Structure 1
Amino acid sequence: MGGKYETIALRREGDILELRIHHKGEAARWGLWGGLHRELGLAFAEIASDPDLRALILTGTGDRFCAEFDMEGEMPPPMSPAVWDVIFREGRSLLNNLLAIEVPVIAAVNGPAFIHAELAVLADIVLASDTAVFADKAHGVAGVVPGDGVHTIWPMLLGPNRGRYFLLTGQEIGAQEALALGIVGEVLPRDALLDRAWEHARAIAARPPLAMRYTRIALTTRLREQVARELGPGLMLEGMAVLAGQGN
């Protein structure tokens, strides 16, 4: 599975899979066209279809989870309904396929997560390094509608008022505050983070597999229902605003 992806490195030990996002082997950058936006949805779909998997670890590379865009990568073509249709399809695939994974997901947030941090905080167990910082720098403060799932996830985690403030201001939440707010479950030194994620994964993998699969399904029911209701309309609003802005 791993060789087909340019922005994802996969490491498997038995029935545990580690998925590490990266940019040419260094800290991940979010592509403006393709890249992680395309590949993560495909990888999540493959992982969701693996009957032998017991646990998934999601992490980043180096000292950042994903904190900036890839400005040197493939540029998107001029925006049009057909181009947005690709983004619309990939955006739904990204979250829906992550939530379709039926084994517990453990996130190890290894540093600042400013672009699509919601992918990490959707995990069942969220671990953060003491250098981690959470923010949404890709939408409100950039003049883009936060309609690709962040409008659902962050108000759910932070509460409606704090969630809206977070999305509109680009507010940064450090690791210790994230722990106090319940965004993450543990804060660790960065050099201990991945070992702790594997410790959790091995403990889960040692339990009855159907019990763990069904636990994941039970614990994500509300998330899947809310994302199913809100993701499509949110992406449509985001796309309409992007298309309308071209004439300005």
Structure 2
Amino acid sequence: MAFEGYERFEFAREGRILTATISAPGPVNAVDAALHAELARVFADLQHDPDSDLIVLTGKGRAFCAGGDFDWFDEQIANPQKFREIGWEAKRIVTSLLELEKPIICRMNGAAAGLGATVALLCDIIIADETAAIGDPHVKVGLVAGDGGAVIWPALVGMARAKEYLLTGDLIRAKDAVGMGLVNHAVPAEQLDAKVAEVAAKILGNPRFAVRWTKVVMNQTLRQLAVQSMDASIPYETLSNMTADRAEAVAAFRERRAPVLSGD
């Protein structure tokens, strides 16, 4: 498969490994409308690619994917219909990633925040630059953590820790995230590629369908949780986009000041 028509991804092959690199405008691979739409279809395309048995997902530049693009946020606040229209995409990003049978390694080369963190955590194995940070600061920009964070964080770190980090929006350094069970390995940046290659080789050394179907079985619970949760979480996130505090939180972030919240 040539993966034609993608504007926010670059693809490269090495043997049976296919690397998909998020390559969005700007320095941190922020999610805009185009990237959101491509995330909703890329994992299905990766599943159907006949020439790969393992996927590496990474980001171009200094970040993996540092959450939503603020110009896009402004559009959604000004016209809530734009937010409403991406609900199907939001669900499909999560469900298609969980339905991908091929093992997928997240090469977390830098910050992973918001939807970027969700995508990273839904991968099978995360190998991170030890200086990178991961977290879900939806609440800091006035949104419900509805695009999969409420599904995957409790599954990985337990409800108490998940609530703390989703309700505060705090970020976690990769070295600390290893001890919590969020990240598999945190290594110096210069060792990142070698560690990814090491883990990929171990996986590819095993029979293809034993690997794929073991993953399928393990993901059953997460798929059921996603179905149960996201039909509620996406509507709640859509509602939160229309609050006064959402607009104030985004404006305050842009202006680098503390938000003046009204409680609405």
- Give TM-score, length-normalised by structure 2: 0.83
CA-based RMSD of the aligned residues comes to 2.3
Letter in 1 for 2:6: Y
Q: Distance in 1 between matches of 2:101 and 2:16?
A: 13
Residue 14 of structure 2 corresponds to 13
Displacement of 1:25: 8.1
Residue 126 of structure 1 corresponds to 126
Displacement of 1:89: 0.9
1:124-183 residue CA offsets vs partner (Å, 9 max, x unmatched) = 11111111111112x111111111111111122221121111011111211121011111
Residue 234 of structure 1 corresponds to 233
Displacement of 1:3: 4.1
Q: 2:65 aligns to what SS in structure 1?
A: coil
Q: Distance in 2 between matches of 1:215 and 1:57?
A: 18
Displacement of 1:199: 2.7
Residue 46 of structure 1 corresponds to 45
* Structure 1 residue runs without a partner (length 5+): none
In 2 relative to 1, CA 141–85 (structure 1 residues): closer, same or farther, beyond 3 Å? Answer: closer
1:55-111 residue CA offsets vs partner (Å, 9 max, x unmatched) = 111111222112254345796464345x34421011011111111110111111111
Range moving further from structure 2, 139-148 or 195-204? 195-204
Q: 2:111 aligns to what SS in structure 1?
A: coil
1:18-60 residue CA offsets vs partner (Å, 9 max, x unmatched) = 11112248541221xx122111111111112234431111111
1:136-147 to 2 correspondence within 5 Å? 136-137=136-137, 139-147=138-146
Q: Distance in 1 between matches of 2:25 and 2:4?
A: 13
- Name the count of aligned residue pairs: 244
Letter in 1 for 2:39: L
Residue 101 of structure 1 corresponds to 100
Question: Are the aligned partners of 2:131 and 2:175 in contact in 1 as well (CA < 8 Å)?
Answer: no
Residue 255 of structure 2 corresponds to none
Q: Distance in 2 between matches of 1:120 and 1:57?
A: 11
Question: Are the aligned partners of 2:142 and 2:240 in contact in 1 as well (CA < 8 Å)?
Answer: no
Letter in 2 for 1:206: G
* Structure 2 residue runs without a partner (length 5+): 248-263
Letter in 1 for 2:119: L
In 2 relative to 1, CA 118–73 (structure 1 residues): closer, same or farther, beyond 3 Å? Answer: closer
Question: Are the aligned partners of 1:79 and 1:243 in contact in 2 as well (CA < 8 Å)?
Answer: no
In 2 relative to 1, CA 51–213 (structure 1 residues): closer, same or farther, beyond 3 Å? Answer: farther
Residue 23 of structure 1 corresponds to 24
Identical counterparts, % of pairs: 32
Q: Which 4+ runs in 1 deviate beyond 6 A?
A: none
In 2 relative to 1, CA 29–207 (structure 1 residues): closer, same or farther, beyond 3 Å? Answer: same
1:1-248 to 2 correspondence within 5 Å? 1-24=2-25, 27-31=28-32, 34-67=33-66, 69-71=68-70, 76=75, 78-81=78-81, 83-116=82-115, 117-137=117-137, 139-243=138-242, 245=244
Q: 2:206 aligns to what SS in structure 1?
A: coil
Q: 1:56 aligns to what SS in structure 2?
A: strand
Letter in 2 for 1:188: V
Q: 1:134 aligns to what SS in structure 2?
A: strand
Letter in 2 for 1:109: M
